[in-house]
Copies of this chain bind each other. A is one copy, B any other.
Amino acid sequence: MEGLDSTQLRTLAAVAAEGSFEGAARLLHVTQSAVSQRIKSLEETVGQVLVRRSRPCRVTAAGRPLLRLAGQLVLLEREALADARSPLGGARTRARVPVVVNADSLATWFVGALARLPGELALSFDIRQDDQDHTAELLRDGSVMAAVTAQREAVQGCRVRRLGAMRYRALATPALVDHWFPDGLTASGLAEAPVVVFDRKDRVQHRFLRAVAGRDLDPPVHYVPSVPAFGEAIRRGLGWGLVPEQLARADLACGACVDLDPERTVDVPLYWQHWRLDSAVLGALTDAVHAAAAEALR
């Protein structure tokens, strides 16, 4: 069997990362037509369409294994060159580290993990944000090398280890509680009181509703897909919502918010999944993520 061309694979990775042939050309310092030619050649070799030419470009199902291979190849090549003390390796070519992280981890403990990595590794972090129930998808399609995810089953070709649980508390203003829950956290109050939800992938509030009421409820919803805006919407009394305990502390301490039910918390177990690959970068990142999570999560 003829092997695959590594320049073409690298080009596929650049198109996927930048979302366009134009962006890939800029990144690789070549013309757009060179990018186009390389992708076409790779598609001819494999006998499959690898990139859907949409805006942004998307790697097809057939392209996913090749995208992952390309990312692994770039990482291993760079590390081999660095070990060989080649002038091609080292700090001049930063290793791109594409990872996907859920919004609440990103807003609280995850950057602290990155800051633990030694500067000599010369990394370039490429973070995506997605719901913890969906982060594994980007790992599956080869776009990222690691994920903070709620999925405990290992994605094919990946290793998985538990990070701990993020604990959420149901917060609201005292005025909202007086208005909607004068007799405590009743099912009828929960069915009517407006709730703040991050986005349509966020099911944490609905899990809490189900746990309290014993059935699915359909209260009015405000979608607020920004961690600081989500907290602000609760503080301003637009609705109640579930907030990571790390972020809840200040609002509870100053009395801006109260805990709807201090006895009832929602714990979301999080896992670190990453490519099964003997890489110094991935090893150092994994150690840093576990150390930071051990301090921040339960």
Name A's B-contacting residues (CB within 8 A): 18-19, 23, 94, 103, 106-108, 110-112, 114-115, 122, 124-129, 194, 200, 220-229, 232-233, 236-238
Contact = CB atoms under 8 A, between A and B. Distances in A.
B115 A228 contact: no
Given A111-B233, A227-B227, A125 B18 contact: no
A103 B129 CA distance: 13
Contacts of A221: 124
A106 B223 contact: no
Nearest to A26: B218
Contacts of A237: 115
Given A107-B228, A111-B233, A128-B225, 18 more contacts: A18-B200, A94-B220, A103-B226, A106-B224, A106-B226, A106-B229, A112-B232, A112-B236, A115-B236, A115-B238, A124-B222, A125-B224, A125-B238, A127-B222, A127-B225, A127-B226, A226-B227, A227-B228
A127 B228 contact: no
9 contacts: A18-B200, A19-B200, A106-B229, A107-B229, A111-B229, A111-B232, A114-B238, A125-B238, A129-B226
B128 A226 contact: no
Q: What copy number does this chain have within its complex? A: 2
Contacts of A238: 111, 114-115, 125
Contacts of A125: 222-224, 238
Nearest to A18: B200
Contacts of A111: 224, 229, 232-233, 236, 238
Contact of A229 (B110, B220, B222): B110
Given A115-B238, A236-B112, A223 B107 contact: no
